[in-house]
Amino acid sequence: MVAFSAREAVSAASPLLRQIGADLPFDALTTGILGMLPTASFAVMGFLALPLLRRMRLEHLLLVALLLTTLGQLGRAVGGVLTFLVFTCVAMLGIGLGNVVAPPLLMKYFPDRIGMVGALHVTLLGVSTAVAAQLAIPLGTLYGWRFSIGIWASLSAVATIPWLSLLGVKRAVGRAGTPPTKDGLPSRANAVRPWKSSIGWGMALIFAGFSSNTFAALTWLPAVLVDRGMRQETAGSMLAVYSILALPFALIVPVVVQRMSRPLPVAVLFVAAFAIGYGGIIFAPPATAAVWVIIAGLGQGAYSFAFAMINMRTRTQSGSGSLSAFAQGTGYALASTGPFMFGLLHRPGEGWLPSFAMLGAWLLVLVTGAIMVNKARMLENHTPVPRQALKGQGP
Q: DSSP class of residue 178?
A: P
Q: What pLDDT score was predicted for residue 23?
A: 57
pLDDT tens-digit profile of 131-188?
776 677 788 778 887 888 888 888 888 888 888 887 777 665 555 554 444 444 444 4
Chain centroid to CA 133: how far?
A: 16
What's the average model confidence in pLDDT over 364-389?
79
Q: What pLDDT score was predicted for residue 394?
A: 37
* Residue 177 backbone zone (phi > 0: left; psi -120 to 50: alpha; other: beta): left
Q: In the predicted model, is pLDDT for residue 18 greater than 70?
A: no
Q: What pLDDT score was predicted for residue 386?
A: 44
pLDDT tens-digit profile of 277-324?
999 999 998 889 999 999 999 998 898 899 889 989 998 888 988 999
Q: What pLDDT score was predicted for residue 155?
A: 81
Highest mean pLDDT of the ranges 8-22, 56-70, 244-258, 372-386: 56-70
Q: What pLDDT score was predicted for residue 359?
A: 95
Q: What pLDDT score was predicted for residue 133?
A: 64
What's the average model confidence in pLDDT over 263-284?
94
Q: What pLDDT score was predicted for residue 227?
A: 87
pLDDT tens-digit profile of 101-129?
888 888 888 887 777 777 777 777 767 76
Q: What pLDDT score was predicted for residue 191?
A: 63
- Which of 316, 314, 361 lies closest to 337 in space, CA to CA? 361
* Residue 3 backbone zone (phi > 0: left; psi -120 to 50: alpha; other: beta): beta
What's the average model confidence in pLDDT over 328-342?
88
- Which of 253, 258, 362 lies closest to 314 in space, CA to CA? 258
Query: Could you give the residue ranges of the DSSP H alpha helices within the chain?
Result: 8-21, 28-55, 58-75, 81-109, 114-143, 145-150, 153-175, 198-227, 232-244, 246-258, 264-283, 289-298, 301-312, 317-335, 338-344, 353-372, 387-390
pTM: 0.77
Q: What pLDDT score was predicted for residue 189?
A: 37
Please name the residues in contact with 311: beta carbons below 8 A apart, sequence gap of 6 or more.
103, 106, 107, 114, 118, 320
Q: What CA–CA distance (Å, rounded) separates 133 from 123?
A: 16
What's the average model confidence in pLDDT over 84-104?
86
Q: Which residues of 267-289 are buried (b: 16+ CB within 10 A; e: fewer)?
A: bebbbebbbebbebbbeeeeeeb
pLDDT tens-digit profile of 27-54?
555 665 666 777 788 888 888 887 888 8
3-state per-residue secondary structure call for 105-146: HHHHHCCCCHHHHHHHHHHHHHHHHHHHHHHHHHHHHHHCHH
Q: What pLDDT score was predicted for residue 34?
A: 64
Q: In the predicted model, is pLDDT for residue 77 greater than 90?
A: no
Phi, psi of 350 (to 5 degrees): -110, 5
Q: In the predicted model, is pLDDT for residue 207 greater than 90?
A: yes
- Which of 299, 303, 335, 338 lies closest to 208 in space, CA to CA? 335
What's the average model confidence in pLDDT over 378-393?
55
* Residue 385 backbone zone (phi > 0: left; psi -120 to 50: alpha; other: beta): beta
Q: What pLDDT score was predicted for residue 150?
A: 82
Q: What pLDDT score was predicted for residue 24?
A: 55
Q: What pLDDT score was predicted for residue 374?
A: 95
